[in-house]
Structure 1
Amino acid sequence: MELDRRLLSAHCAVHALSIAAGLLVVVPMALNGSAFKGRCALFSTGYWRAETRGADTEPSADASHLVVQQWGPLAACQFATFVGIFTVLYGAAQSWRGFFYLHGRHDDTLFSSFLTVLLSVCVLFLSGGASVLLSLGLVSWCDTVTDNNTRPYSCAESQSVPLYLDVDTSSFYTELSLAQASLWCVTALWLAQSILAFLRLYHSHSQHISGPCLPREKELLLGHSPSECGSSPSPPLPSATPTLLV
């Protein structure tokens, strides 16, 4: 029973951490989507075009501006946001449920524990895929902004450089990099949730298997002859009645 409470307490703590990590994914992605007017910067393609100020002058780097050929797919940003929202909602529900179980001193059934393991593993793969997608998309956007690292500034510094776009790019790197780091934290927390859910399932299964053996241990303590675990007691044999000799 003490192991049950420790596993349940650890699971509640991981759920609480996942709420904070999920919010750190959702809020920056929402701010970035608002600043980019509903467009997705991930996997966007474009090039830098230099403007000529006169017929006899050469193109100047100061007069160049970024031209976005195609904005990234909205699904790339929405996928990361969906994983963050689901993590927050699931973590809040499971935290309340875990604290309720701790107060009531009981745990999930065997079938419910199995479903928790299955769901945790599925969302683990989803969050891992979203983390890889967000990381690759940010690298692609940084290559576009820095012109494949040929500009005199880094991707982090480019948010303070005027890109002459019709969107607000003053904090895109801060928002996307924060969402990226938080999403990898969410993936790590889902891995911890999967491990804890499996340990709770294994412990619940062990308790379920050892349940029929408890009467046998009680019989041993009381000095009675032990019976086999899980077998029904055999009925007593009828005693032979003595025959009367006449």
Structure 2
Amino acid sequence: MELDRRLLLAHCAAHALSVIFGLLAVIPLALNGSAFKGRCALFSQGFWRTENLTFSGGGTGEVSHLVVRQWGPPAACQFPTFVGVFTVLYGAVQGWRSLFYLHRRHDDTLFSSFLSLLLSLCVLFLSGGASVTLSLGLHSWCSTITEHNTRTYSCAESQLIPLYLDVETSSFYSEFNCAQISLWCVTALWLTQSILSFLRLYHSHSQQISGPCLPREKELLLSQTLAECAIPHPHAHLHPSHTPSVFI
């Protein structure tokens, strides 16, 4: 298997995985946005409040509930969702191009390889920024819920505890955690694709440089061979009987 064919197969596999992990990031974020009624829990600020409530049976008791002072900026949730959607679409297009080149048995030109490398680096920075944003935002939300880890339960367990908010919080950690892991996998895949794009660029550059030189070298060698065959040897046509005799 030639080098460019191996690179194309690796690119197809990386693009297919990026589409899968992109969907695994977009779907949980979309479900979380629907459960939170369009509000963003990332980087939200709040505190726990304990109030005395009177129950219907006449008894009283203390109930703690979470008070959200300020919801997180919508861009904190929209940016990872946008990166996930863009990864799915761009990965599908690039994967189809790689399959097309693999079927046609030819690779990108030098300019196309350079452009693919630049786009891969841009998507790498976007996915890395989205992964960091989602991780930091989830850590901030978990710190708010657990009161900086002073509660007896973890952030994963807090989704099973009633927070007494007007949003559905029964699966927020599972959704954010799935999206977070998927986006970090997407970042690793785009790092791999950037390396593969650089190798394809190097291969295209090598082919472009060595391509015109090889026919010239063949022509020069062929011309030299023909020239050597065309020049007769100085004693090739002398018969032994025609050898001049020397008289003393």
TM range (shorter): 0.7 to 0.9
Following superposition, the deviation at residue 221 of structure 1 comes to 5.4
Q: Distance in 2 between matches of 1:27 and 1:167?
A: 18
Following superposition, the deviation at residue 58 of structure 1 comes to 10
Query: What is aligned with 2:91?
Result: 91
**Aligned residues, how many?**
222
Following superposition, the deviation at residue 52 of structure 1 comes to 1.8
Residues 50 and 59, structure 1, Cα contact 8 Å, conserved in 2: no
Query: What is aligned with 2:33?
Result: 33
Provide Cα deviations, 1:73-104, integer angstroms capped at 9, x if missing partner. Answer: 11011110111111100111111111111111
So what's the TM-score if we normalise by structure 1?
A: 0.86
Aligned structure 1 segments of 4 or more residues deviating by more than 2 angstroms: 57-60, 219-225
Query: What is aligned with 2:230?
Result: none
Rg (Cα) greater in structure:
2
* SS of match in other structure, 1:64: strand
* SS of match in other structure, 2:205: helix
Query: What is aligned with 1:64?
Result: 64
Provide Cα deviations, 1:2-50, integer angstroms capped at 9, x if missing partner. Answer: 1111111101110000000100110000000000000110000000000
Report percent identity of matched pairs: 76
Residues 25 and 182, structure 1, Cα contact 8 Å, conserved in 2: yes
- The yes-or-no answer on 1:4 pairing with 2:10 is no
Q: Any stretches of 5+ residues in structure 2 without a counterpart?
A: 226-248
Q: What letter is aligned with 2:30?
A: A
Q: What letter is aligned with 2:192?
A: A
Q: Distance in 1 between matches of 2:75 and 2:142?
A: 19
Q: Distance in 2 between matches of 1:223 and 1:6?
A: 37
Q: What letter is aligned with 1:192?
A: T
Structure 1 residues 42-121: aligned runs within 5 Å: 42-53=42-53, 60=62, 63-121=63-121
Q: Distance in 2 between matches of 1:97 and 1:201?
A: 16
Q: What letter is aligned with 1:206?
A: S
Q: Any stretches of 5+ residues in structure 1 without a counterpart?
A: 226-246
